[in-house]
Amino acid sequence: DPKIIQKPKYLVAVTGSEKILICEQYLGHNAMYWYRQSAKKPLEFMFSYSYQKLMDNQTASSRFQPQSSKKNHLDLQITALKPDDSATYFCASSPDWYEQYFGPGTRLTVL
């Protein structure tokens, strides 16, 4: 059974719309993260949360808002979508700040 679930797997959106990317982890970890990978580039850190509190934010735009309704959930709301937002978004989790484990990703395409 997958331990980190990301939904949806693929997402197509129109410019200016709003989408929510879902992430749930069943590893019992207290820290969760979002990363973004644009085409053929390395992953870039976006946010980190611990016990549902924001720890670090490396995203310049306020259009990206993480939302944590439960300890094992960290969703990512993206508003006013732009074509440059097209990327694969990975959720990850870890016990405290140690080894991170990644979900399968959500591939977002903005038209």
Partner 1 sequence: GDQVEQSPSALSLHEGTGSALRCNFTTTMRAVQWFQQNSRGSLINLFYLASGTKENGRLKSTFNSKESYSTLHIRDAQLEDSGTYFCAAPPPSSFSKLVFGQGTSLSVVP
Q: How far apart are CA 28 and CA 24, in angstroms?
A: 11
> Is residue 107 involved in binding partner 1 (CB under 8 A)?
yes
Residue selected from 1, 14, 39, 42 as contacting partner 1 according to rule CB under 8 A: 42
What are the residues facing 44 on neighbouring strands?
36
> Is residue 3 involved in binding partner 1 (CB under 8 A)?
no
Q: How far apart are CA 85 and CA 89, in angstroms?
A: 10
CA dihedral 55, 60, 65, 71 (to 10 degrees): -20
Residue selected from 7, 22, 44, 79 as contacting partner 1 according to rule CB under 8 A: 44
Q: Which is nearer to partner 1, 18 or 56 (CB)?
A: 56
Q: How far apart are CA 89 and CA 105, in angstroms?
A: 5
> Is residue 38 involved in binding partner 1 (CB under 8 A)?
no
> Is residue 5 involved in binding partner 1 (CB under 8 A)?
no
Residue selected from 10, 26, 51, 97 as contacting partner 1 according to rule CB under 8 A: 97
Nearest distance in Å: CB 97, partner 1: 5
> Is residue 26 involved in binding partner 1 (CB under 8 A)?
no
- Angle at the Cα of 64 from the Cα atoms of 61 and 39, rounded to 5 degrees: 85
By CB under 8 A, the count of residues binding partner 1 is: 24
Q: Which residue has the tokens 């990512």?
A: 76
